[in-house]
Amino acid sequence: MLRWMRLSSTAPEILSRRLLFTLEDSSPLSLIPSHHPSRRTSNRFLDIYQIGNKAAIEKERARLADEMNRGYFADISEMKQHGGKIAAANKIIIPAMAAVKFPGLEVNFTDGRALKLPITSNGNDVDACKSSVPKATLLCLSFRASSQAMVDSWSVPFGEAFNNSEKVQIYEVSFIDSWLLSRNPIKWLLLRVMRKSKHDGRMDMLQRQIVYSFGDHYYFRKEIKILNLLTGYIFLLDSFGRIRWQGFGLAKQEELSSLLSCTSLLLEEK
C-alpha cells in the first residue's frame, strides 16, 4: 500500500512532463520524419551575423555530419538490444583527481526561477554561504518522456536512503530541445502548466527538485558523451561539480548499492 501511495503521488508530475514532451513532438517539426537530421537538430537556425563566418559554417557542417551519422533509428535499435542500459554503472567511486567536471547547465523551476547546475563550492551561483553547497548531488537527466521510469528507479530509492541528510540534493532535469517551445511566451506558459500539476505531498523522502532545460543541447551532450536520447542518465557529483559516479537506464539492485555506498563516501570526504 505504501509503495502504491508513493507511485500515485508522483503521477501528476510524470503526466505533466509527458504533456510537455508531447507538446514538443506536436510542434511543426513533427511533420518532418523523426530520423531526419533537421528534426534531430531541433529546428535550429544559423544566426544572420554568422552567415559570412567561415568558421561558424564549417562548425555547422561538422555538426550536421555528426548528427547524420547517428539517427533516431540507432537509438531505437539500442533500446531493443539493452533497454537503455548502454553501459554498466560505476562499481566504485571515481577518484577526485581523475574526475571530470560536469558542464554548466541553465535550468528553470516551474515558478520561473533560473538556476545554474551544478551548485559548487567554488562557483558564484550560491546565494547563501558555502554551507548550503551539497556534498553530494544526484543529477538525473531525461531527454524523452519514455526515460522517466528509468529516472524514478534511481531517484526514489536514493531519496529514501538519504532522507535525513542535509548535504544531499536530487535534481531531475527534463530537456526541451524544441526551438518553438523554447521561445519565452510559450516557455513561460508551459512552466506555468507544469507548476499547476506539480505535487508536493512527498514527506517520506528527500525532495526531488524538478527542473527544465530549454534550448539547443547538442554541445552539452557532446561534452558528457550522451548519444542515445531515449534512455536516462544518472550522475553523482561532489561539492566541486565533479562526476564521481555514473549510471544509465533502469537501476539494478547491485548498481543502486554501488550508488548509495559511493554517496556515503562522498559525505565522509573532507
**Annotated domain spans of the chain:** 51-82, 105-268
Measured CA to CA in angstroms, residue 6 lies from 136, 197, 200 at distances of 24, 16, 12
Contact 233, 140 (CB under 8 A): yes
pLDDT tens per residue, range 174-220: 999 887 777 888 888 888 888 866 554 444 457 789 999 999 888 89
Q: Which fold has domain 105-268?
A: Glutaredoxin (3.40.30)
Residue that is written with C-alpha cell 583527481 in the block: 97
How many angstroms separate the CA atoms of 210 and 206, rounded?
12
Residue that is written with C-alpha cell 512552466 in the block: 191
pLDDT tens per residue, range 97-152: 999 999 999 999 999 899 999 998 765 444 445 557 899 999 999 998 889 999 99
Nearest Cα to 231, choosing from 114, 124, 86?
86
